[in-house]
Structure 1
C-alpha cells in the first residue's frame, strides 16, 4: 500500500492560524471521502489535538457522526520514534497531517523537510514575512532568504535528487495568507510584491487563507468547523463567506484525492486509542 500523502502545517512563529487551518483542511478532506490521520507535534499547546478531542466529544454528546481525522499527539522523544508513530497512525490513510509548534523544533524541521505538501500560514505583515525572507527597510525588496526558507529550499533539492531513485514525491510548498482583511492597501501591495519576488526565487505557491473571523475561535469548544452543515445553527452572511474561504483554500492546495468512495466510507473524528 502506498504511503499516505504528508501534509505538514509549519511556521516557527505562533498566532498565524496554523492549527485552525489544519483542522479545517483535515475535516474538508474527510468530507470528500478521504481517510485522514493527524499527529499533533505541539506537546505544549496541543491546539490541534484539543480541537479534535472537542469534536469527538460533540459526536458522543449529540450522538452524531462528524467526518474528520484519526488523531493523536506525538509521544516519542526521537525522530525514529516519531516516524514509528507516524507509520502506526497513518496506516491505511490517504493523508497524514502534521501540526507543528510555533517555534524552532527538531521534529517540526524533520516533518517539514519530508512533507509532500508543506503549508506555511502567515499573517499579512512583514513581521510574519520575516520568517521566510528579509526585506530592505527602504525599498521593501527581498534582500535574502531566511534560515527557514533556506532549510526548505535545501530539503526540496534533496527530494528532487532522490525522486527518481526512491520514487519520492516532489514537495509542494504553499504559503497561505491568513487575516488579510486587516492589512491596509499600501502594506498589502508591498507584501504582494515581496511574496511574488520570493516565490520565484524559492519556488513556493501563494494561496489566500482564512480571514480574521470570530466564528473560527467560537467553534473551538465544540470542535465543529464551518463545513459541518446542519450542526451549526443559523449562519450569517459572514459565516457563509468564511465557509467558502475554507473550500477555496482546500482547492488551492491541489491535493491528490483518492478514488471516490460512498458516504458510508467516511471516517469520523476519533482518537487513535479508538482505532482498534
Structure 2
C-alpha cells in the first residue's frame, strides 16, 4: 500500500519542517490514520537516529534565530551599552571593539571571569572594556554595587577600579564596618563614600543599568556583549578571543 511506503518520508518531512502543517492527517480515514501511526512507530523504532537528526536541525535553527535576535538587541541599545557616560571604561580606551560586562559582586562565575577577562585584554591589547554594575543576587549585591559606584562618584575612576577589584576578592558580608575597612585600606575617604552610597545619583545609575539589562533580556551574570555579539554566561579567554576575531572579520 502506498501509505506504508509514504509514512517514513512524510514523517521525515514533518520532523525536519518542525511544523504540523507539513503533514495533514485530516485527509486520512480513521483506518489510514491508525495504520499511519503504526508505521510511524515502526519506522522510529527501526531508525531512532531520525529523531536525533530532527532535534539537531531544530536546535541549530533556534540557535541561529536567537543569535540574530541578540544582534538586533545589541544594535538597538548600542549607545547605552558602549557609551552611557557613567560606566567605568578600561582595557584599551581606543580599542577597535568593546567588551561590556554585566556583573554582580556576589556571583561566583563573575569572580571566575576576572582572570579570563584580564588575560583577554592583555593578550589582545585592542579591546575596550565597559563594566556594568548589575546587582541581582540580593541585598549584599546591591550594597556592594552602591559602594563601588559611590567610590567612583567621590574619588574617580581609579578609585572605582580599586574598590571593584577588592569587592570581587571580598568574601565577607558588606557592612559599614567591612566597607570602611576596604576603603581605608585603599587610602580613600571612607566617610564620603559611605555617605554617597544612598545618593540619588548612585541609585539612578544602577537603575538605568537594570533597565538596560531588562531590554537586553539579561537575567544572569556574568553576561557580556562583545562587539555585535551577546555572550550569555561565563567564557574562557580563548573563547572570547575567537569571538573577537570573528567580530573583527565581520566588520571587515
Q: Please, what TM-score do these two structures have when normalized by structure 2?
A: 0.25
Q: Where is the strand percentage greater, Structure 1 or Structure 2? A: 1
Structure showing greater relative contact order (alpha-carbon pairs closer than 8 Å, 6 or more residues apart): 1
